[in-house]
Amino acid sequence: MKDKLNHIAVLTSGGDAPGMNAGIRAVVRSCAFHDIKCSGIYRGYQGLIENDFEVLNARSVRNIINRGGTFLKSARSKEFRTKEGRQKAYENLISQGVDALVVIGGDGTFNGAVVFNEEHDFPIVGMPGTIDNDINGTEHTICYDTALNTVVEAIDKIRDTANSHNRLFLVEVMGRDAGDIALNAGIGAGAEEILIPEEDLGTDRLLESLKRSKKSGKTSSIIVVSEGDKIGKNIFELAEFIETNLEDYEVRVTVLGHIQRGGTPSCYDRVLASRLGIGAVDALLAGERDIMIGTVHGKVTSVPFKEAVAGRNKIDLDLIRVADITST
């Protein structure tokens, strides 16, 4: 890498999530602070291939810290998965005079960065932006806190109608491979059961739990189900299974879906994204590369991309115990 950075580009890739705009803003304003040219790349890696760059300055990112989504747009690029596509992307970075790249996204984004660097030896630093909180090497990802608050608010409203009609509601939340949203939102919303990919509850235990709830006097219940739960049934099949085996229950299903990705980012996510954005530019100025910026014990730190995508943070067993006790 050059001794002096003159030009940094930033992009968002993969699923959009609230807090990404705050992260972009921090990168752009950190560049302005250090008198470094900054460009935004629209539509992630696909925009990089199509040379969709725009020079940004401190005023370009005014009034976006409170906005959900990403003003740079995002996309999943099939072309970037090809060697030819990555070659085009590299040539565009060079033609634009870009010295280093900041990418905001999840494990797919970082895997793309790993392959790109292996082929072209280009300085890249990542910022974890995903609602699933499933990136290794950081305690929290940008957008996770906002998604949690969205889910808890939705479940609170569902509980009102569940209580009014003495119904059992199954609420599906995002988390194909990670149960962080389901577990934490389930505890926060007072769910009677929480089904996550990391723990196979089993249908027999679930039925026994619901029977105990009924005997204890509960007239309505909420079960939070992560979309990647390993119980062996999709949420509609699970609802049918419960009604077939427990005739006392009237079951309804709510799939929260993409509502979890929208909305105004929480204060926590805005601050986290700002810290990580400045940390990304600081790391590049210090000569670091091929790393992800995250937080551990509240401090901004970095881990190699390969470590960030090698696995995910383990589920907190203490939280599972809290869920078991508080659902009694």
Q: Whole-angstrom Cα distance, residue 241 to residue 120?
A: 53
Mean pLDDT of the chain: 91
Write the pLDDT tens digit of every residue in 116-145.
999 999 999 999 999 989 899 999 999 999
0.95 exceeded by pTM: no
Q: Are 180 and 315 in contact (CB under 8 A)?
A: yes
CATH number at residue 242: 3.40.50.460
Residues 234 and 94 in one domain: no
Is 284 found in the same domain as 153? Answer: no
79: CATH: 3.40.50.450
Residues 285 and 255 in one domain: no
- Shared domain for 287 and 217, answered yes or no, is no
Q: How far apart are CA 279 and CA 272, in angstroms?
A: 10
Interatomic CA distance for residues 181 and 81, integer angstroms: 29
Does residue 193 sit in the same domain as residue 292?
A: no
Query: Do 81 and 38 belong to one domain?
Result: yes
What per-residue string of b and e applies to 100-130 under the rule 16 or more CB within 10 Å gives b? Answer: bbbbbbbbbbbbbbbebbeeeebbbbbbbbb
Query: What's the confidence (pLDDT) of residue 208?
Result: 84
Whether residues 298 and 184 share a domain: the answer is no
- Tell whether 257 and 184 lie within a shared domain: yes
- Do 125 and 53 lie in a common domain? yes
> Is the residue at 166 inside a domain?
yes
Reply yes or no on whether the pLDDT at 2 is more than 60: no
Domain that holds residue 84: 7-143+265-308
Query: Half-sphere exposure (CA, 13 Å, Cβ side) for 59?
Result: 0
Place 3 in a pLDDT band, splitting at 50, 70 and 90.
low
> pLDDT tens-digit profile of 193-219?
898 887 776 777 788 888 877 777 676
* pLDDT of 1 above 60: no
Cα 154 from Cα 149, distance rounded (Å)? 9
Identify the pLDDT of residue 326: 86
Q: Does residue 13 sit in the same domain as residue 126?
A: yes
**Does some domain include residue 313?**
no
**Count of the separate structural domains present in the chain:** 2
Residues 138 and 185 in one domain: no
Is the pLDDT score of 168 beyond 80? yes
Phi, psi dihedral angles at 48 (to 5 degrees): -65, -40
* Residue 167 pLDDT: 84
Phi and psi, residue 301, nearest 5°: -145, -175
Confirm whether 323 is domain-assigned: no
Q: Is 132 a catalytic residue?
A: yes
pLDDT (0 to 100) of residue 230 = 63
Q: Give the residue among 316, 325, 315, 318 at the shortest CA–CA distance from 192.
A: 325
Q: What is the pLDDT of residue 313?
A: 67
Tokens of 84: 């030819």
Pick the catalytic residue from 132, 134, 180, 290.
132
CA 85 to chain centre: 26
> Is 141 strand, coil or helix?
coil
Rounded to an integer, the average pLDDT of 97-108 is 96
Q: Encode pLDDT of 238-261 as tens digits.
A: 889 888 888 778 899 999 989 999
Structure tokens of 166? 């003495």
115 within some domain = yes
User: Is 319 inside a domain boundary?
Assistant: no
Question: Is a pLDDT exceeding 60 seen at residue 275?
Answer: yes
Report which of residues 56 and 165 the model is more confident about: 56
* 229 has pLDDT over 80: no
Same domain, 126 and 202: no
